[in-house]
A and B are shown apart, each in its own frame.
Chain A
Amino acid sequence: MTTHIKVDATRLLCPLPVIELQNTIQPLMPGDTIELIATDPGVQYDIPAWCQIHGHIVTQQCKQEGTFTFVIERGDLKANMAKSSS
């Protein structure tokens, strides 16, 4: 069974939404998901960038009336490390 967590990062200026995501995702298992909502336009770049360098997957991203919503799936870090070193 996977876990799904909602993170409200509205009103937070970057990099705080990234820090929220980073702290929330750490104890999760591969395949668990986070829905993050933010209002700082900077998240449009920062969230996908942070996910990419840490091996997590942005499965959904949308913008509606100044609010940005992301669904992020926790990546399998061990598998990613093995893949990158092979």
Chain B
Amino acid sequence: MSKQIKAVALISGGLDSMLAAKTIQAQNIHVEGLNFFTGFCVEGHTQALRKTSNNKIKRNNALWVAQTLGIKLHIIDIIEEYKDTVLNPKHGYGKHLNPCLDCKIFMIKKAKQWLDESGFDFIITGEVIGQRPKSQRKNTMPVIANESGAFDRLLRPLCAKNLPETLPEKMGWVMRDKLYDFSGRSRQGQMALAKQLGITDYAQPAGGCCFLTDKHYSTKLKDLWQSRQCRDYTLDDILLLKVGRHIRPNERFKLIIGREEGENIYLMGYRHQFTHLKPSSHTGPLVLIDGEPTADDIQLAARVTARYCSQQQEDVVIEVTEPRGISRPLTVKPLPAEQVAKEWFV
């Protein structure tokens, strides 16, 4: 009886990795999926906290893809290990704080480690030459394979015909003529293949799967580093950058203002870590204060909070609660719109 050949697929939750896995499954290869959680993933349900997202199904798309393909998915927490990739990318950043090439190398390296430990034979990804300006170019494909240590055990089924033969092809585990030669940013070929394979429902993430490719998010992360004079972060730091409106009136403190009920509930979870403000006389947001505010700063923070209350013409009572639970009321006038400086918005 011949040995069952096994491949591990990097599953992001998007169409390309789904097609890559399905293509290899079709060649009688046992496939299991890996999904890495960096903390910067768009894929989480951070956005689902907002009511405006209520019409969308709240699901992890990587899990959904695995379920649709009938494969196991292993979700790996790489938050701590991944920090060095974000903070010191050897190949530099993309347009914002996205270290895409280093990120891909790191993930393939982790997949290779998993492959060795689990007795699998090769790695597959949904990469397509020319699809991403930083990491998915013809000249970066060998860099990823070599620097990750995967070498010819890394197969990209969607563009394999544009690349040198890999070990699974040389060994006859997979047939090269049943792989593809997609290239470029157009998704037409992949969409046609999806249709051919009967895949009609798939996630279409706009702007990739990582918050580090987002201009506004990157600005907030830079602001965090600058305010702390230290290029480092915790998971809570990077999760909080995804939630609420961020306003920094001065270098001493920043306000994180819930925009909706879902965000207010989420921010409440941090009430033992931050001083927080909550209107008691009116309906309004929950606000966290990040930093070392003075008494005047707290007064200003309360007035900004009042500005986001239901009634902005009257005095508003704001409960100011310290992390240890001691609370006091502050009655303030909402800060007029013209006094909220544009540059305060991070």
Q: How far does the alpha carbon of A54 sit from the alpha carbon of B43 in the complex, in Å?
A: 21
Contact call A42/B70, Cβ cutoff below 8 A: no
Contact call A15/B75, Cβ cutoff below 8 A: yes
Interface string of B273-293 (1 = CB under 8 A from A): 000000000000000000000
Interface string of A6-45 (1 = CB under 8 A from B): 0000110111101100100000000000000001111011
**Interchain CB contact (< 8 A) of B73 among A10, A14, A50:** A50
15 A-B pairs whose Cβ atoms sit less than 8 Å apart in the complex: A11-B269, A15-B35, A15-B41, A15-B60, A39-B265, A42-B44, A42-B45, A42-B58, A42-B59, A45-B57, A45-B58, A45-B63, A49-B59, A53-B66, A53-B71
* Size class of the contact patch on chain B: 20 to 34
* Distance (whole angstroms) from the CB of A10 to the closest CB of chain B: 8
Contact call B64/A15, Cβ cutoff below 8 A: no
Interface residues of A (CB under 8 A from B): 10-11, 13-16, 18-19, 22, 39-42, 44-46, 49-50, 52-54, 66
Interface of B is mostly: mixed
* Distance (whole angstroms) from the CB of B258 to the closest CB of chain A: 15
Contact call B60/A42, Cβ cutoff below 8 A: yes
Q: How far does the alpha carbon of A86 sit from the alpha carbon of B76 in the complex, in Å?
A: 30
Contact call A41/B58, Cβ cutoff below 8 A: yes
Q: How far does the alpha carbon of A22 sit from the alpha carbon of B45 in the complex, in Å?
A: 18
- In the bound complex, residues from chain A placing their C-beta under 8 Å from that of B73 are 50, 53
Q: A49-B59, A53-B73 are in contact. Are A15 and B66 (CB under 8 A)?
A: no
- In the bound complex, residues from chain A placing their C-beta under 8 Å from that of B66 are 49, 53
For window 235-289 of B, CB contacts with A under 8 Å fall at: 239, 265-266, 269
- In the bound complex, residues from chain B placing their C-beta under 8 Å from that of A52 are 67
B194 within 8 A of A: no
B331 within 8 A of A: no
* Distance (whole angstroms) from the CB of B310 to the closest CB of chain A: 22
Contact call B63/A18, Cβ cutoff below 8 A: yes
Return the chain B residue nearest A84 by Cβ: B70
Q: A13-B46, A14-B45 are in contact. Are A53 and B67 (CB under 8 A)?
A: yes
Q: A41-B48, A53-B66 are in contact. Are A19 and B77 (CB under 8 A)?
A: yes
**Interchain CB contact (< 8 A) of A45 among B59, B62, B76:** B59
Contact call A40/B63, Cβ cutoff below 8 A: no
Return the chain A residue nearest B45 by Cβ: A42
Interface string of B40-83 (1 = CB under 8 A from A): 01011110110000000111101110110011111111000000
Extra inter-chain contacts (6) besides given A15-B63, A19-B77, A50-B63, CB under 8 Å: A18-B75, A19-B76, A40-B45, A42-B45, A46-B59, A53-B71
B37 within 8 A of A: yes
**5 cross-chain pairs, A with B, having the tightest CB-CB distances, nearest first:** A42-B45, A45-B59, A11-B269, A42-B58, A14-B45
